[in-house]
Amino acid sequence: MADPFFLKKGRIEEVVLETEDVKRFLISVDGFGEFKPGQFNMLYVYGQGEVPISISSIRSDLIEHTVRLVGDVTEDLFNLREGDILGLRGPFGSHFPIEKFNGFNIILVAGGLGLADIKPVTEYILRNRDYYGRVYLLVGSKTPASLIYKGEFERWKEKIDLLVTVDRPEENWKGHTGLVTRLFDLIEIDPQKSVAMMCGPEVMMVSASEILIERNFSPYKIFISMERHMKCAVGTCGHCQFGPYFVCKDGPIFAYSKMRYLLKVKEL
């Protein structure tokens, strides 16, 4: 088995500024193996530090990561440019099991930067569109300016139902306003034939999952993406432990049935 601590070298081929604090990096990596929607890599800025970042596309010629500047290492990442080299290990973790749900309707829910983790599932569905029924992508963002991947929206809309809402609309905003969960009132939900997959703030995923359960959705057919501080990413250091699980190895994608009661335990 390959050494999970071996750092591959990645060369940044393209940088796209998505918003004032979010950048998308397209990275060439020799010998990067197969990966699935929802998995992540550890990105290492030489001499600075390492952070877990979701793989935000299914394309395999260039590995895509979308990074928000929040602290020390993401700031160093943010400052990298085309031609710079970084270290990379992965792919790690579980994935959204989209390939198991042929014939189902799919409800994708993304809050803020959570869309970075939902984008590869969306791309997988678009590539295999005939295998799925009705597909909804519900996106919530604080403001129109903080929406990422706006350049992809028109293309996605040709094949799936995309609904976008913002908390604080700006002057020319013509779309929906309010929490992403309000969009559930605008779509058809058939709990027997549907599966939900989501990524965003924990409070959003809990609230969205509970609304779906109230509408007779099974918690076994809701999949959420969990985030915890990580160091090793392979289940040896214990940094990401959450109840009986290591989020890096058992997750980050879990059926809500496994997380439902753990997420209600304070200070876990």
Ligand X SMILES: Cc1cc2nc3c(=O)[nH]c(=O)nc-3n(C[C@H](O)[C@H](O)[C@H](O)COP(=O)(O)OP(=O)(O)OC[C@H]3O[C@@H](n4cnc5c(N)ncnc54)[C@H](O)[C@@H]3O)c2cc1C
Q: Which residues bind ligand FES (CB under 6 A)?
A: 230-233, 235-240, 246, 248
DSSP strand E in 151-255: where?
161-166, 176-177, 194-199, 222-225, 241-242, 245-246, 253-255
User: Which of ligand FES, ligand X, none is residue 80 near (CB under 5 to 8 Å by kind)?
Assistant: none
Rounded Cα–Cα distance for residues 229 and 238 (Å): 10
Decide the pairing of beta strands 253-255 and 222-225.
Answer: antiparallel
CA distances from 158 to 79, 126, 153, 162, 188 (A): 35, 10, 9, 9, 18
Among 162, 230, 253, 263, binds ligand X (CB under 6 A): 230
Query: Is 116 an interacting residue with respect to ligand X (CB under 6 A)?
Result: yes
Q: Whose Cβ is closer to ligand FES: residue 9's or residue 231's?
A: 231
User: In whole angstroms, how close is the CB of 78 to ligand X at the nearest point?
Assistant: 9
Query: Is 42 an interacting residue with respect to ligand X (CB under 6 A)?
Result: no
Residues 209-228 as x/- pattern, contact with ligand X by CB under 6 A: ------------------xx
User: In whole angstroms, how close is the CB of 52 to ligand FES at the nearest point?
Assistant: 8
Query: Is 66 an interacting residue with respect to ligand X (CB under 6 A)?
Result: yes
H or E segment at 73?
helix 72-78
Q: Residue 258 is which amino acid?
A: K
* Token pair in block for residue 59: 């394309």
CA distances from 248 to 9, 195, 205, 233, 241 (A): 22, 23, 19, 5, 8
Q: Whose Cβ is closer to ligand X: residue 189's or residue 233's?
A: 233
Q: Whose Cβ is closer to ligand X: residue 39's or residue 181's?
A: 39
Residue ranges in contact with ligand X by CB under 6 A: 40, 51-54, 56, 66-68, 70-74, 113, 116, 227-230, 252
